[in-house]
């Protein structure tokens, strides 16, 4: 007789193969696919999603899981016990959602996304509003299926992306952070803003590409198990044994190309850092979106926006880009740390980024809990932008219509961006201590020492620990906004001379 654990493992690995096949098709859609192939590609992806859902809710999974729970040989093996615990969590979640709701959500997500794109291009919130109403109602139904008695509807949705996180804990983390960031924003007005005009000189795409590839290689991204391409919106996806990254190039935005490449490269190193032996199991998967984002933000901000990094990188930039001869490392360091409160989150600097996230966090809780109707959404959005970022929103296109997330049904997702920033700062401080000072490594280009530390401390664990436990194990403390604020204030004091 086949042992229940082995049967379950074989079943889940085969399901993972389907998932990675879908990931490859999705990557191809964004990078290579001719436009005319879209309809059949959507059918291929939905067919694969249906097969995956069928396999995830297969009644045999529940039987295998209960046999594993009662089997001492499984429970006494730390790896197997962790996999069974996480598979149980995934199974509970998959089986709680009726298939009719899953199908309706998939259909409305696809149509609402198209309606959102159309509404945004015409700056017509009223055209998107009926779809948003429908999406909010569906998300409320989804939350009601998922939620435990101790959770609010919003908590149940957030738990999908950051296991164990809830609105009360987030509010406790965010409130002091917001106050400090708003005060910092005001203090910077009294400083000397850096000039970044030199970095906006047009540079040919081929030169930008060889530059970002040199940095990605130095970070230790393994190109035998990964590749870098270009797409309109940069992303990272794992396809079985290899990792696909994308970046984008615009002539006057080489720093954006570098930041996007280092960001996606950080995600890619996390995906390359899992133990191959755990492929297709929770121990070979990311623990949460917040921790995933911490890996990208750590490389993008704590490495790529540091003075030590530019002491190493400037000669490489000068050689690959054929310019920047009259600037020094300090000038580039100041340029990459310009703070300009702006309307669009994805273009935000490090000091104001989280204020964008907090606006959406406030609003979506009220939408899901039914305290805010969508007719009042633009007004509330604009009010919070004035209060948090100190800027006036000219139209909904640059306001509440800016992001695709809500039309895709991603509610409870946004805070993971800020959690990523907070984890990144706390992990970077721990690495600095453990490795005898990060700047000394970065200025010599010894990035793989940092990569190996991250691999040992974070990547190798997969989903063995909860995000909160992982944070304590790696840093010796619960997640806090203090390391992030210290990092920002110390850096910006130099950059702005305040």
Coil, helix or strand for 349?
Answer: coil
* Of 142 and 238, CB closest to Zn ion: 238
- Single out the segment in contact with Zn ion by CB under 5 A; choices: 96-104, 202-210, 289-297, 399-407: 289-297
Main-chain phi, psi angles of 227, to 5 degrees: -150, 160
Q: Bridge-partner residues for 226, per DSSP?
A: 243
Whether the Cβ atoms of residue 434 and residue 474 lie closer than 8 Å to each other: no
* Of 296 and 407, CB closest to Zn ion: 296
Whether the Cβ atoms of residue 441 and residue 450 lie closer than 8 Å to each other: yes
List the structure tokens of 98.
């009726």
**Please, what is the minimum distance in Å from the beta carbon of residue 183 to Zn ion?**
27
* Of 260 and 475, CB closest to Zn ion: 260
How many residues form the binding site for Zn ion (CB under 5 A)? 2
**Please, what is the minimum distance in Å from the beta carbon of residue 267 to Zn ion?**
6
As a dihedral over the C-alpha atoms of residue 385, residue 373, residue 153, residue 16, rounded to 10 degrees, the angle is: -70
- Single out the segment in contact with Zn ion by CB under 5 A; choices: 2-10, 294-302, 325-333, 407-415: 294-302
- Separation of alpha carbons 238 and 288, rounded Å: 15
**Please, what is the minimum distance in Å from the beta carbon of residue 374 to Zn ion?**
28
**Please, what is the minimum distance in Å from the beta carbon of residue 264 to Zn ion?**
7
**Please, what is the minimum distance in Å from the beta carbon of residue 293 to Zn ion?**
5
End-to-end CA distance of the chain: 71
Its sign, for the CA torsion 474, 479, 481, 482, is negative
- Single out the segment in contact with Zn ion by CB under 5 A; choices: 287-295, 345-353, 449-457, 475-483: 287-295
* Of 131 and 417, CB closest to Zn ion: 417
Whether the Cβ atoms of residue 430 and residue 476 lie closer than 8 Å to each other: yes
- Separation of alpha carbons 127 and 122, rounded Å: 9
**Please, what is the minimum distance in Å from the beta carbon of residue 459 to Zn ion?**
16
Q: Is 296 in the site for Zn ion (CB under 5 A)?
A: yes
Q: Bridge-partner residues for 230, per DSSP?
A: 247
Q: Is 260 in the site for Zn ion (CB under 5 A)?
A: no
Q: Is 294 in the site for Zn ion (CB under 5 A)?
A: no
- Single out the segment in contact with Zn ion by CB under 5 A; choices: 52-60, 150-158, 285-293, 341-349: 285-293
In angstroms, the Cα distances linking 255 to 233, 309, 341, 421 are 15, 14, 18, 19
Binding positions for Zn ion, 448-487, rule CB under 5 A: none
* Of 259 and 483, CB closest to Zn ion: 259
Cβ-based burial of 197 (10 A; exposed 0-12, middle 13-18, buried ≥19): exposed
Per the annotation, the verdict on 264 as an active-site residue is yes
- Separation of alpha carbons 454 and 473, rounded Å: 13
Element (H, E) at 245: strand 242-247
* Of 91 and 263, CB closest to Zn ion: 263
- Which entry of 86, 162, 264, 271 is annotated as an active-site residue? 264
Contact set with Zn ion (CB under 5 A):
293, 296
Query: What residues act catalytically?
Result: 264
């Amino acid at each position: 007789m086949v042992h229940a654990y082995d049967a379950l493992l074989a079943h889940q690995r085969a399901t993972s193969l389907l998932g990675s096949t879908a990931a490859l098709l999705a990557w191809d859609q964004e990078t290579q696919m001719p436009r005319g192939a879209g309809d059949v590609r959507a059918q291929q992806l939905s067919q694969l999603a249906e097969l995956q859902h069928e396999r995830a809710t297969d009644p045999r999974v529940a039987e295998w899981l209960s046999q594993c729970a009662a089997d001492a040989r499984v429970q006494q093996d730390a790896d197997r016990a962790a996999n069974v615990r996480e598979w149980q969590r995934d199974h509970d979640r998959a089986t709680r959602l009726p298939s009719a709701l899953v199908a309706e959500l998939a259909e409305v997500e696809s149509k609402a996304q198209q309606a959102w794109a159309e509404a945004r291009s015409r700056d017509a919130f009223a055209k998107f509003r009926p779809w948003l109403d429908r999406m909010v109602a569906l998300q409320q139904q989804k939350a009601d299926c998922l939620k435990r008695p101790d959770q609010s509807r919003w908590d149940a949705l957030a738990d999908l992306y950051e296991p164990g996180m809830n609105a009360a804990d987030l509010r406790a983390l965010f409130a002091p952070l917001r106050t400090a960031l708003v005060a910092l924003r005001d203090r910077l007005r009294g400083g000397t803003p850096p000039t970044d005009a030199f970095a906006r000189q047009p540079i040919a795409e081929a030169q930008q590409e060889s530059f970002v590839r040199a940095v990605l290689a130095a970070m230790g991204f393994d190109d035998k198990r990964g590749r870098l391409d270009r797409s309109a919106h940069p992303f990272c996806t794992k396809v079985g044994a290899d990792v696909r990254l994308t970046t984008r190039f615009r002539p006057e935005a080489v720093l954006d190309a570098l930041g996007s490449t280092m960001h996606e490269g950080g995600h890619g190193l996390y995906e390359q850092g899992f133990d191959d032996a755990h492929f297709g199991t929770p121990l070979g998967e990311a623990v949460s979106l917040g921790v995933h984002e911490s890996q990208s933000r750590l490389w993008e901000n704590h490495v790529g926006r540091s003075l030590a990094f530019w002491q190493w990188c400037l000669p490489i930039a000068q050689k690959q880009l054929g310019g920047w001869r009259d600037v020094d490392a300090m000038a580039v360091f100041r340029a990459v740390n310009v703070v300009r409160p702006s309307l669009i989150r994805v273009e935000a600097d490090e000091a104001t980024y989280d204020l964008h996230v907090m606006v959406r966090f406030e609003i979506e809780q009220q939408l899901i809990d039914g305290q805010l109707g969508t007719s009042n959404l633009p007004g509330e959005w604009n009010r919070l932008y004035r209060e948090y970022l100190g800027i006036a929103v000219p139209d909904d296109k640059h306001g509440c219509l800016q992001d695709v997330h809500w039309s895709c049904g991603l509610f409870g997702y946004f805070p993971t961006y800020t959690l990523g920033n907070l984890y990144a700062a706390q992990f970077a401080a721990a690495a600095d201590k453990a490795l005898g000072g990060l700047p000394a490594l970065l200025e010599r280009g010894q990035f793989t020492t940092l990569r190996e530390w991250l691999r040992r401390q974070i990547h190798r664990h997969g989903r063995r620990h909860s995000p909160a436990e992982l944070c304590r194990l790696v840093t010796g403390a619960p997640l806090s906004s203090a390391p992030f604020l210290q990092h920002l204030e110390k850096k910006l004091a130099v950059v702005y001379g305040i």
